[in-house]
Amino acid sequence: MKLVRIKKALFFLLGSINCLSISAQPLNIVEQMRAKDDSAMFKALFDLALTDGHAYKRLGELCKGVGSRLSGSDNAERGIIWAVSMLKSYQFDTVFTQPVMVPRWERGEIESVNLYSKVLTNHLKSGKLGDDYNCEAFVEANPKPQKFYPLNACALGGSVGGKVVGSVVTVNSNRELDSLGKAGKLRGKIVLLNRAFDQTLLNTFQAYGGCVSQRVNGAVPCSKYGALAVLVRSMSNRCDLHPHTGVTHYDDSVTKIPMVAVATAVADLLEDICLIDPYHWVEIELNCRTLPDRLSANVIASSMGSKYPEKIIDFGGHFDSWDEGEGAHDDGAGCMHAFEALRLLKAMGYTPRHTLRCVFWINEENGLRGGTEYARLAAERGENHIAALESDRGGFVPRGFGVDSAILPGVQKYQKLLDAYGIGTIEKGGGGADIGPLKKVNPNTAFVSIIPDSQRYFDVHHAETDVFENVNKRELHLGAAAVAAMIYILDQQLD
């Protein structure tokens, strides 16, 4: 017993000394740890993130104090003011903004989608539901027969407004779209683009990739075939009543028709209604609109390189979000990963060899103007960006990294050390929407991306459920520590 107590006391004492020394003599501690081996450096980074992380607290301020940050909105500008003052409070070497003109789309006050269906009403009256409908969530939320049924729906970003009434035609593939369109069966109809996620894919981003084109590009063929409006099945693995917005594009060659996301349970309901009630109709009313562009900004904080100050390592996320929810996972978490990585390395007393830049890009969701302007300025100034990491897959537990093949062997040397923190894969890959334009002006920039667990990301992506409450503190801090570890690796490995 005695021995155990002494051991505990010693452990506590050593722990306290360790904490004190990190703050009192940071340089010495970092030198000692690095002299030993990099595992001590990683351990200290993760320990600090998990015991005194700042990412979660700052994300809370952003989500609850500012909220959603759609490009061109007053909220986005309030967010940028918050970000600059937050970063300045940490006394990084520099904190600055880059002006960027961004598009401005507003949802408007009117957004209603209603279903009229006598068959549904009769079924609800008779209580005969189970056999006819796949969409339990919708029927549970609407147990009583009504004159009309308000559907859980929201305009897609960039949609035109308008008022449309028509019956729905369900389409589950591009081939079906073309065959129905060519047969004239979409003319005067509201088209439901209903391709669902492939649930067998473990990587949910692959499932998203298999469906998202119907949201982004669906307006053009549907309009060409004479449709009045388009309902798009939400991009989600879940069956629920939350519509997920996202960008949609038109083409000047066709009439711009309203584009609306419907919740997955609503899409299932409508598919059933199409089969059992040929006389149903849906009414859509939206007053969303596009306004003139507005001045906004990228926000940047950096630590100066000691050996190669002219060589830059970028890491960041996009600061804008959709107007539904709070942009907590998408991409407040990515921005906080980057800020916290810069802070952790500074708090550890680490002196970077290259200049480290944490970047909050603006307007990834509906224009990519921030990333484009960042690359344009880099080219204009002849900057040398040797590596760029983007975090835009949520604040979930980190599982791995995608890394540019040119630097993959050097980074993979650290695989074993990162395994200890659940980061099991370092694979060929890397990249991100905001860093993409850098490659055009700087072909040698090595891209990296963090890969968190993807199972829950599309539950909340672009939906009202992407709020701070759905972010787990430890998972967010593990992600930030993982980004810090990767930035350390890049700083050590690259010349």
Phi/psi of residue 84, nearest 5 degrees = -60, -45
Q: Taking the CB of residue 156, how many other CB atoms lie within 10 A of it?
A: 30
Task: Name the one range near Zn ion by CB under 5 A: 3-11, 87-95, 303-311, 331-339.
Answer: 331-339
Does 330 participate in binding Zn ion (rule CB under 5 A)?
Answer: yes
Asked if 373 interacts with Zn ion (CB under 5 A), we say no
268 vs 392, beta carbon nearer Zn ion: 392
Per rule CB under 5 A, is residue 323 in the interface with Zn ion? no
Closest contact distance (angstroms) between CB of 336 and Zn ion is 13
Binding footprint of Zn ion, residue count (CB under 5 A):
3
Supply φ then ψ for residue 132, to 5 degrees: -95, -20
* Contact call for residue 331 and Zn ion (CB under 5 A): yes
Residue 329 beta carbon to Zn ion: minimum distance, rounded to whole angstroms = 8
Span interacting with Zn ion, options 67-75, 82-90, 98-106, 391-399, rule CB under 5 A: 391-399
Nearer to Zn ion among residue 330 and residue 340 (C-beta): 330
End-to-end Cα, the chain, rounded Å? 54
The C-alpha atoms of residue 343 and residue 330 are separated, in whole angstroms, by 21
**Closest distance of CB 263 from Zn ion, Å:** 20
Using DSSP, state whether 420 is helix, strand or coil.
Answer: coil
Report the side by side order of strands in the sheet with 168-171.
153-155, 259-262, 229-233, 190-193, 168-171
Return the structure tokens found at 146: 């009504």
Nearer to Zn ion, 142 or 296 (CB): 296
CA angle 380, 384, 386 (to 5 degrees): 140
CB of 494 to Zn ion, least distance (A): 26
What strands lie across the sheet with 398-403, from one edge to the other? 94-106, 289-303, 354-361, 308-318, 384-390, 446-452, 398-403, 425-428
Q: Which is nearer to Zn ion, 268 or 330 (CB)?
A: 330
* Shortest distance in whole angstroms from residue 331 CB to Zn ion: 4
Measured from the CB of residue 318, what is the shortest distance to Zn ion in angstroms? 6
Interacting stretch for Zn ion, rule CB under 5 A, among 24-32, 91-99, 269-277, 323-331?
A: 323-331
Question: What is the DSSP secondary structure assignment for residue 91, as one 8-state letter?
Answer: T
How far is it, in rounded angstroms, from Cα 10 to Cα 16?
10
Interaction with Zn ion in 468-487: which residues (CB under 5 A)?
none
Least gap, CB of 480 to Zn ion (angstroms): 17
Instruction: Give CA–CA dist 462/298, Å, rounded.
Output: 21
Listed ranges 368-376, 379-387, 388-396, 411-419: which one lies at the site for Zn ion (CB under 5 A): 388-396
Q: How far apart, in Å, are the Cα atoms of 108 and each of 198, 285, 289, 296?
A: 33, 11, 7, 21
Instruction: Report the residue number, 68 or 170, with the smaller CB distance to Zn ion.
Output: 68
Q: Which residue's CB is nearer to Zn ion, number 323 or number 331?
A: 331
Shortest Å, Cβ 215 to Zn ion: 14
Tell me: does residue 340 bind Zn ion (CB under 5 A).
no
- For tokens 């796949």, the residue is 134
Q: How far is the CB of 74 from Zn ion (least distance, A)?
A: 21
In the 8-state DSSP scheme, what is residue 202? S
Q: Which range binds Zn ion by CB under 5 A, 140-148, 214-222, 236-244, 387-395?
A: 387-395
Q: With respect to Zn ion, which residue has the nearer C-beta, 272 or 326? A: 326
**Interacting stretch for Zn ion, rule CB under 5 A, among 23-31, 278-286, 304-312, 325-333?**
325-333
Q: Which span sits near Zn ion by CB under 5 A: 57-65, 66-74, 287-295, 389-397?
A: 389-397
Q: Which is nearer to Zn ion, 392 or 475 (CB)?
A: 392
Closest separation in Å from C-beta 394 to Zn ion: 8
The CB-of-429 to Zn ion minimum distance in angstroms stands at 17
Q: Which is nearer to Zn ion, 302 or 391 (CB)?
A: 391
CB of 271 or CB of 392, closer to Zn ion:
392
Q: Which residue is associated with the tokens 């791995």?
A: 400
Q: Which is nearer to Zn ion, 311 or 461 (CB)?
A: 461
Q: Is 434 in the site for Zn ion (CB under 5 A)?
A: no
| Pick 191 or 435: Cβ nearer Zn ion | 435
We find the least distance from the C-beta atom of residue 461 to Zn ion, in angstroms, to be 8
Does residue number 392 form part of the binding site for Zn ion (CB under 5 A)?
yes
- Select the span of 125-133, 167-175, 385-393, 405-413 touching Zn ion (CB under 5 A): 385-393
Q: Which residues contact residue 241 at a Cβ distance below 8 angstroms, ignoring those fewer than 6 apart?
A: 137, 138, 141, 152, 263, 265, 266
Q: Which residues of the shown chain bind Zn ion in the complex (CB under 5 A)?
A: 330-331, 392
